[in-house]
Homo-oligomer: A and B are copies of this chain.
């Protein structure tokens, strides 16, 4: 075949000193970056985030692997232990956290002097999500800077007050939605990475582990979701998507495997109904795994 092999599309790699849009942010040591971090919304976000003791990222790389389910139930389990918890939903197109907490259409409010007020859901959990203001039939198309602007408003112009935990639910991908939020939150405590057992999903979850490490956010552990299923009639264990994906990723990346959440109708029903399974189904294996994740998060944050 004629032509030359290429490794990258023709993306301009020069520096224009616009750190907010730079794809090389985490690799950069230029002095301009330090100046940049002290200005404007970055300074505001730093002040706001200083009042929240611990910040946890929920990642997965791939869509549909259980990130929002995990973020909701981890937040809820923390709140059941008496922690003051805030969830930041970075999914702007198709947010589901408000559904999973029974808060759809709850609205968001602004302060008279400007800035946003988080919505408050069950167990006093604060929620910031576009799902609070998007109608069911409304389709929002976000272009480039709009998502960044929204992230900046959520972090720099929202009054969270004093909190114990911020749980950040990151949508699929490794692009701006992920990177913008990490840039704005100094000193994150750690991340939890979700995968499903298939090799296709592991391949993508590996990128989530890599981006967390690149941004100096330690990976607390991996959760394999939609793992094997037990037939409710005969008890047979059915591996729909093969098995062992979580273990193999854990071994390859040298990151703990927190546990495996089996496929379960109770989990699906609880998410649709807006009733977190960690409270509704305390004996479900999903609850056991989420509680183990919460133990590991609390330990990483100096509690226990």
A→B interface (CB under 8 Å): 1-11, 21-23, 61-65, 92-94, 96, 99-100, 107-112, 117, 133, 136-150, 153, 171-176, 178-179, 196-201, 203-204, 206-207, 210-211, 214, 229, 231-234, 236, 238-242, 263-265, 268-269, 271-272
**A238 adjacent to B229 (CB under 8 Å):** yes
**A272 adjacent to B231 (CB under 8 Å):** no
In the bound complex, what is the Cα–Cα distance between A214 and B142 (angstroms)?
15
In the bound complex, what is the Cα–Cα distance between A204 and B92 (angstroms)?
12
**B92 adjacent to A150 (CB under 8 Å):** no
**B229 adjacent to A242 (CB under 8 Å):** no
Indicate whether A199 sits within 8 Å of B272 (C-beta atoms), given known contacts A139-B207, A211-B139.
Answer: yes
**A146 adjacent to B11 (CB under 8 Å):** yes
**A206 adjacent to B137 (CB under 8 Å):** yes
In the assembled complex, 27 residue pairs joining A and B whose CB atoms fall closer than 8 Å, in A order, are A1-B117, A3-B117, A10-B149, A10-B153, A23-B141, A23-B146, A62-B64, A62-B94, A62-B96, A63-B64, A64-B196, A93-B173, A96-B200, A99-B200, A99-B203, A137-B206, A139-B174, A144-B176, A171-B172, A198-B272, A231-B231, A231-B234, A231-B236, A231-B238, A238-B265, A239-B265, A263-B263
| A-B complex: 3 closest residue pairs judged by Cβ atoms | A63-B63, A64-B64, A144-B144
**B176 adjacent to A142 (CB under 8 Å):** yes
Chain B, residue nearest A265 (CB): B240
In the bound complex, what is the Cα–Cα distance between A147 and B138 (angstroms)?
24
By a CB distance below 8 angstroms, the chain B residues around A196 are 64
In the bound complex, what is the Cα–Cα distance between A61 and B137 (angstroms)?
13
In the bound complex, what is the Cα–Cα distance between A201 and B269 (angstroms)?
12
Chain B, residue nearest A25 (CB): B141
